[in-house]
Amino acid sequence: MGAVATFLTACPRNCYSTCSMRVTVEGGRVVAIEGEPANRATPEGPCLKGLAYVERTVSADRLVRPMARSAAGLAPVSWDEALGLAAEALARVRREHGAQALLYYAGSGTKGLLNGCGLAFWRLFGGCTTTYGDLCWPAGLEATRLTLGENAHNAPWDLANARLVVFWGKNAAETNVHQMLHLEEARREGARVVVVDPRRTETAERADLLVQPRPGTDGALALAVGHVLVRDGLIDRAFLDAHVHGFAAYAERVGEMPPEAAAAIAEVPAARIEELARLVGTVHPLTIVPGFGMQRYTNSGQTMRAILALLALTGQIGRPGAGWMYANLQTAVFHPVKDPLDFYPPARPDGVVRVGISTARLGRDMQAMTDPPLKAAWVERGNPIPQNPETPRVLAAFRALDFRVVVDEFLTDTAREADVVLPAKSFLEQTDVVGAYWHPYVQIRQKVVEPPPEVKPETEIYRALGRRLGIAEEALAAALPGPSDEAVEAWLEGKLAPLGLTLERLRQGPVLAPGAKEVAFDDLRFPTPSGKIELVSREARERWGLDELPGYTEPVESVRRGGRYPLHLLTPNTKNRIHSQFGNLEAIRRIDPGPRVALHPDDAARRGLRAGERARVFNDRGSLTLEVALDYGLSPGCASVTNGWWLADGGAVNLLSEGRETDMGYGAAFHDTLVEVARA
């Protein structure tokens, strides 16, 4: 038995909640994780994944020594050997091809201010090539910016003031579990709930109305709801006149999409569209909570604009219990976000860092890169081989490189392809500061335990590598905090000081970001060109080549466009993993042992498939062989496989997707994917 201590920290995963947590350490090991009630967004504490940190930090599968590739495969080596191999290969690439022949790929697997140190190091190296765009949510970010001027929303606990909550393509019960606490508070006060989703999800079990559109047709559905609102006068005329730009043109546009027309497109009965519209037009305050998955189609930016317009029509913005709860970037106080290029630094090419590869088209763009072509890659905080669209091409692009380094806690699919694998710290092993994108808190991510003896924080990996590459010690010291814990904290204090914050204050509990508002846009001032909510956006045309008005176009890969395969593949998130993280842990495996394909029983019967049988899910790009599960709550014409399974698990869904960008924001249009399912 060792000394017992409890620390306040925050989960840094790429998740809405960014939970505050109390971590108990005994004898140098994490033994308990509990909630922190001071965080009003997450007062009841972490989800199953958060609790699994007790296992994750000491998992037998965790990488605790560097590894290097030999003829026999990856094997443990010393830090001296691993860094020597990496430095020699990277120096050769820089000498023979130039620094921009190196791809620096940084994912979003963990959040924190220290993440910016990677790019600072590669600038010292002489430059690199990096990516633009994002796998997650940029079409929705840009649609919101074009319409409202910025991405901000009411505090999570304000949802309790809503009397109608529409979860449009979001399954909060699995992907934002703490939001359900605030929803239940609203329901106790009489709020009604609508879910729009092709699946009958856990969230839908709380709904008063479930609307199940054909995947990718939400834009047509939203335009038809707008049609009914305008037709029946269920609009706030005074709000429109004072605060909305382009209503007359919008009204003309939605006049072309009556419920009957949308019913034919979205395969939702016209009467149900009318029912949805009446709720939106009469039950207030109204909050619409759109999901990230819905904006991963080739038409998704315009879809998000069409849904957001419904709040403008009804005057449901800038009021308690009302608004658009998509992305709350009020904690982006260290790197303020104004447009999609600002959110993914470096913002623009600068002669040193080449921003030349679309995250959505990672494999294709890597293979096409010239002057210089890519010869090496450094990957951290990400697992791009199974997680980026078109896995076969991403895999081929990585294998074509001369040298690959991966920094990770586990031997992921991407790490298995590396020449050198360097063990990463866990978030409990170095102090950092994190923001959030759902609640408005800035939080400390405290160091609570020492890393295993041969695990180094990434800042120290860069420092050691830099010395071997001949980078001056003074330059390394200026770019990288450390090496001591005290030096890291002093660097963080420097970032906090301009905001009037300190680490000591953060150690006492989560702190609202300076300037954060509980009700976004409460002054009804919108930083758009017109100063109003913009239903007509000239920038949509000038930047993205789209219609100035929100509209609907059929997804690129669609049965109605003559797609070869008959089933639309859904790849939803699950409460058991955050994409490709946590699924390797024993605590999670007991609950979710392996991938399955869900089908509506009618679709399974037509293919002669029964529950528990093995079936092949395939298209021209690849195939998976999975156990069949029957789901009466799934819309016919769909097949559903939760994302995040590794190639090693046999369930990597991006074997089936194509690398396409969304219509705006440089997002990844994973969900334009058709498949067939047949007996294995």
Q: Which CATH number characterizes residue 170's domain? A: 3.40.228.10
Express each pLDDT in 382-404 by its tens digit: 999 999 999 999 999 999 999 99
User: Is residue 578 located within the same domain as residue 500?
Assistant: no
Looking at per-residue pLDDT, the higher value among 36 and 161 belongs to 161
Residue 548 maps to a domain: no
pLDDT of residue 347: 47
Q: Is the pLDDT of residue 350 over 70?
A: no
How many whole angstroms separate alpha carbon 677 and alpha carbon 601? 13
Q: Is the pLDDT of residue 340 over 60?
A: no
The DSSP string of 382-439 is: --HHHHSS-HHHHHHHHHTSSEEEEEESS--TTGGG-SEEEEPPPGGGS-EEE--SSS
How many whole angstroms separate alpha carbon 643 and alpha carbon 458? 28
User: Is residue 232 located within the same domain as residue 322?
Assistant: yes
Confidence of residue 197 (pLDDT cuts 50, 70, 90): very high
Confidence of residue 579 (pLDDT cuts 50, 70, 90): confident
Confidence of residue 227 (pLDDT cuts 50, 70, 90): very high
Q: Is the pLDDT of residue 346 over 50?
A: no
pLDDT of residue 635: 95
pLDDT (average), residues 110-134: 91
Task: For tokens 């180094």, name the residue.
Answer: 456
pLDDT (average), residues 3-13: 90
User: Is residue 354 located within the same domain as residue 295?
Assistant: no
User: Is residue 172 located within the same domain as residue 221?
Assistant: yes
Looking at per-residue pLDDT, the higher value among 468 and 342 belongs to 468
Q: Indicate left, alpha or beta for 133 from its phi (over 0: left) and psi (-120 to 50: alpha).
A: left
CATH of the domain at 477: 3.40.50.740
pLDDT (average), residues 122-126: 95
User: Is residue 493 located within the same domain as residue 577?
Assistant: no
Task: For tokens 């992921």, name the residue.
Answer: 412
Contact present, 21 and 28 (Cβ < 8 Å): no
User: Is residue 459 located within the same domain as residue 348?
Assistant: yes
The percentage of residues in the chain with a pLDDT greater than 90, rounded to a whole number, is 82
How many whole angstroms separate alpha carbon 150 and alpha carbon 490? 32
Residue 594 maps to a domain: yes
- Which residues, at least 6 apart from 170, have a Cβ–Cβ distance to it below 8 Å? 176, 197, 203, 289, 290, 291, 292, 293, 294
Least confident of 8-17, 162-171, 522-531: 8-17
Domain that holds residue 632: 559-679
- Taking Cα atoms as reference points, which of 646, 589, 575, 417 lies closest to residue 59? 589
Cα–Cα distances (Å) from 30 to 409, 558, 637, in that order, read 17, 49, 46
pTM attached to this predicted model: 0.94
- The DSSP symbol for 667 reads B
Confidence of residue 345 (pLDDT cuts 50, 70, 90): very low
Least confident of 141-150, 491-500, 578-587, 661-670: 578-587
Residue 478 maps to a domain: yes
User: Is residue 225 located within the same domain as residue 361?
Assistant: no
pLDDT (average), residues 136-142: 92
Residue 405 maps to a domain: yes
pLDDT of residue 341: 57
Handedness of CA 597, 598, 601, 603 (dihedral sign): negative
How many whole angstroms separate alpha carbon 202 and alpha carbon 170? 10
Tell me, what amino acid is at 529?
Answer: P
Six-digit token string for 645: 């399974």
User: Is residue 216 located within the same domain as residue 363?
Assistant: no
Which helix (H) or strand (E) element contains residue 270? Answer: helix 270-282
The DSSP string of 228-266 is: HHHHTT-S-HHHHHHHEE-HHHHHHHHTT--HHHHHHHH
Residue 49 maps to a domain: no
Residue 18 maps to a domain: no
Express each pLDDT in 415-461 by its tens digit: 999 999 999 999 999 999 999 999 999 999 999 999 999 999 999 99
CATH of the domain at 665: 2.40.40.20
User: Is residue 507 located within the same domain as residue 373?
Assistant: yes
Contact present, 289 and 168 (Cβ < 8 Å): yes
Q: Is the pLDDT of residue 553 over 70?
A: yes
pLDDT of residue 592: 87
For residue 391, report the phi and psi dihedrals to the nearest 5 degrees: -50, -45
Q: Indicate left, alpha or beta for 509 from its phi (over 0: left) and psi (-120 to 50: alpha).
A: left
Residue 626 maps to a domain: yes
Q: Is the pLDDT of residue 1 over 70?
A: no
Contact present, 297 and 557 (Cβ < 8 Å): no
Give 395-398's long-range contacts (Cβ < 8 A, gap of 24+). Answer: 395/363, 396/363, 396/367, 397/362, 397/363, 397/364, 397/366, 397/367, 398/366
pLDDT (average), residues 58-79: 94
- The DSSP symbol for 150 reads S
Intra-chain end-to-end CA distance of the chain, in Å: 53
User: Is residue 577 located within the same domain as residue 667?
Assistant: yes
State the total domains in the chain.
3
The 10 Å Cβ neighbour count of residue 252 is 11
Express each pLDDT in 617-654 by its tens digit: 999 999 999 999 999 999 999 999 999 999 989 999 99
> What are the residues facing 74 on neighbouring strands?
69
Express each pLDDT in 600-616 by its tens digit: 999 999 999 999 999 99
Residue 1 maps to a domain: no
Express each pLDDT in 239-272 by its tens digit: 999 999 999 999 999 999 999 999 999 999 999 9
**Mean confidence (pLDDT) of the chain:** 93
pLDDT of residue 432: 92
User: Is residue 148 located within the same domain as residue 114?
Assistant: no
Six-digit token string for 619: 């298209």
Express each pLDDT in 38-48 by its tens digit: 999 999 888 88
- Which residues, at least 6 apart from 562, have a Cβ–Cβ distance to it below 8 Å? none
User: Is residue 634 located within the same domain as residue 671?
Assistant: yes
pLDDT of residue 482: 86
pLDDT of residue 342: 55
